[in-house]
Amino acid sequence: MTIENIGSAEGKEVTLRGWVYKHRSKGSIAFIDLRDGTGICQCIASKNDMSEEKFEMAKSLTQESSLIINGIVKKEDRAPGGYELQVTDLNIIQIAKDYPITKKEHGPDFLTEHRHLWLRSSKQHAIMRVRASVVKAIRDFFDGNGFKLMDSPLLTPNACEGTTTLFETQYFDIGKAYLSQSGQLYAEASAMALGRVYTFGPTFRAELSKTRKHLTEFWMVEPEMAFFDLNDDMDLAEDLVEYIVQYVLKTNQKELKTLERDTTKLENIKRPFYRMSYTEAVEWLNKNNVPLIKKMPDGREEEIPFPWGEDFGAVQEEAIMEQFDKPLIIHRYPSEVKAFYMKRDPENPKVVLAMDMLGPEKAGELIGGSQREDDYDLLLERIIRENLPVEDFQWYLDLRKYGTVPHSGFGLGVERTVKWITGASHIREVIPFPRMIHRIVP
């Protein structure tokens, strides 16, 4: 029997196995909030219902002690979960001494230091269950829409986008290898073989970013589709995000309640979402007096009207998103600020067929994607202009040499998505063991 479905055993005697979440003893009655991984159940040990020896055991329990409890399930409105267990017998596996995480508040450093224990706390437990649902929703969505899972390698010989900093390691006597920062280039090759594919795994960025939205190791799902143009790509991104949010709403009401999440905001996440071109976004910024804050050479900051061609920062994205209660896709960015593999817009060669999806409620960038450059000469030209090693991209260029087709894809950050849906205040809370600048333990 698990606590998750204890209601089905009302009136029956059951065995629960778990850990003491909280413990209160009061004369000849003891309250044990038992945690079994699926939920928490209040257990009542009363002196009249058990032997003297067992009752003394019940009174001696400490936080996170492990035990096996027998008792009768009763409906009880005074109990937190609606049901409680009238204890008839209990056996202690271990008495835990001095559990470090107490009922009072703790600082972020202490909690992160004790991440292996912090995961047992009810909010962290709820977040991890939502995370599992998000991952399942992603897999169900793609598997049910004709996609095949084609994972990309994590050890790679070159940079995908050539811009961000990579983790480096020695690969036998062949030379340097790098931890992948994106599976996209390989996904493109896979899409040319299987049509519609997705790659799903951890990615690594050695950037020195220190914000509540960044991890050095995070999970990303990247679909890649042959014969998809940018519009098809944006449609698919919206479908995916709608599916994930609605799946979590269907599956995790209890967890969202534990997290005190306003679910009406999530219920609203249904297509159509909003779309805006980069050029329209710049016009909006200038109409609403959201300037670009520019660092001058002497260290002073100066505010200037937002110039077309500059990439958006957090200030611009948040200002734009304040008016939206659903995700917004911004598309057709200036080619200078985007990666080499993105296809130029045939109608305006100054922009590329790229898109970013921003979430509401300060969720930030959830998705980045594009239609890919499918012309051999144009792609080669971009690789050379970005000073990337052409030899390393020979296999990638081959995809444009042997039966090239229009194709598109995007990457969705799992942690950013879970952070948004759960309302967690920091991204370190939405991955079991966060990897951040200055932290690799536990």
Partner RNA sequence: UCCUGAGUAGCUCAGCUGGUUAGAGCACCUGACUGUUAAUCAGGGGGUCCACAGUUCAAGUCUGUGCUCAGGAGCCA
Of the candidate spans 194-202, 203-211, 225-233, 236-244, the one that interacts with RNA by CB under 7 A turns out to be 203-211
Q: Which of residues 120-139 bind RNA (CB under 7 A)?
A: none
**Toward RNA, which CB reaches closer, 195 or 213?**
213
Burial 399-424 (b: 16+ CB within 10 A, else e): bbeeebebbbbbbbbbbbbbbbbbbb
Token pair listed for 94: 């271990």
Q: Pick the closest to residue 341 from 188, 154, 175, 232 (CA basis).
A: 188
Q: Which of residues 228-247 bind RNA (CB under 7 A)?
A: none
Cα-to-chain-centroid distance, residue 236: 18
Instruction: Report the nearest approach of RNA to the CB of residue 347 (Å).
Output: 24
Of the candidate spans 118-126, 137-145, 204-212, 381-389, the one that interacts with RNA by CB under 7 A turns out to be 204-212
Residue 211 contacts RNA per CB under 7 A: yes
Residue 110 contacts RNA per CB under 7 A: yes
Angle, to 10 degrees, between the axis of helix 122-143 and the axis of helix 414-422?
130
Instruction: Report the nearest approach of RNA to the CB of residue 293 (Å).
Output: 7
Q: Which helix (H) or strand (E) holds 317?
A: helix 314-321
CA distance 32 to 366: 41
Residue 318, burial from CB neighbour count under 10 angstroms (0-12, 13-18, 19+): middle
Q: Pick the closest to residue 291 from 322, 311, 315 (CA basis).
A: 315
Q: Tell which one of 155, 193, 208, 378 touches RNA (CB under 7 A).
A: 208
Residues 6+ apart with CB under 8 A from 267: 249
Longest dimension (CA), the chain: 85
Residue 437 contacts RNA per CB under 7 A: yes
Instruction: Report the nearest approach of RNA to the CB of residue 173 (Å).
Output: 30
Q: Tell which one of 2, 70, 89, 106 touches RNA (CB under 7 A).
A: 106
Of the candidate spans 143-151, 269-277, 312-320, 322-330, the one that interacts with RNA by CB under 7 A turns out to be 312-320
- Could you give the string, one character per residue 315-344, with x where binding to RNA holds by CB under 7 A and - elsewhere? x-x-------------------x-------
Residues 6+ apart with CB under 8 A from 168: 176, 177, 178
Q: Tell which one of 11, 52, 53, 102 touches RNA (CB under 7 A).
A: 102
**Toward RNA, which CB reaches closer, 212 or 250?**
212
Q: Tell which one of 104, 287, 300, 401 touches RNA (CB under 7 A).
A: 104
Q: Tell which one of 12, 176, 212, 250 touches RNA (CB under 7 A).
A: 212
Residues 6+ apart with CB under 8 A from 128: 119, 432
Q: Pick the closest to residue 229 from 360, 361, 98, 405 (CA basis).
A: 405
Q: Tell which one of 196, 413, 418, 424 touches RNA (CB under 7 A).
A: 413
Instruction: Report the nearest approach of RNA to the CB of residue 172 (Å).
Output: 29
Instruction: Report the nearest approach of RNA to the CB of residue 276 (Å).
Output: 17
CA distance 118 to 101: 7
Q: Tell which one of 70, 88, 209, 246 touches RNA (CB under 7 A).
A: 209
Q: Which of residues 341-360 bind RNA (CB under 7 A)?
A: 356
Residue 67 contacts RNA per CB under 7 A: no
Instruction: Report the nearest approach of RNA to the CB of residue 401 (Å).
Output: 26
CA distance 34 to 39: 8
Q: Tell which one of 78, 300, 385, 401 touches RNA (CB under 7 A).
A: 78
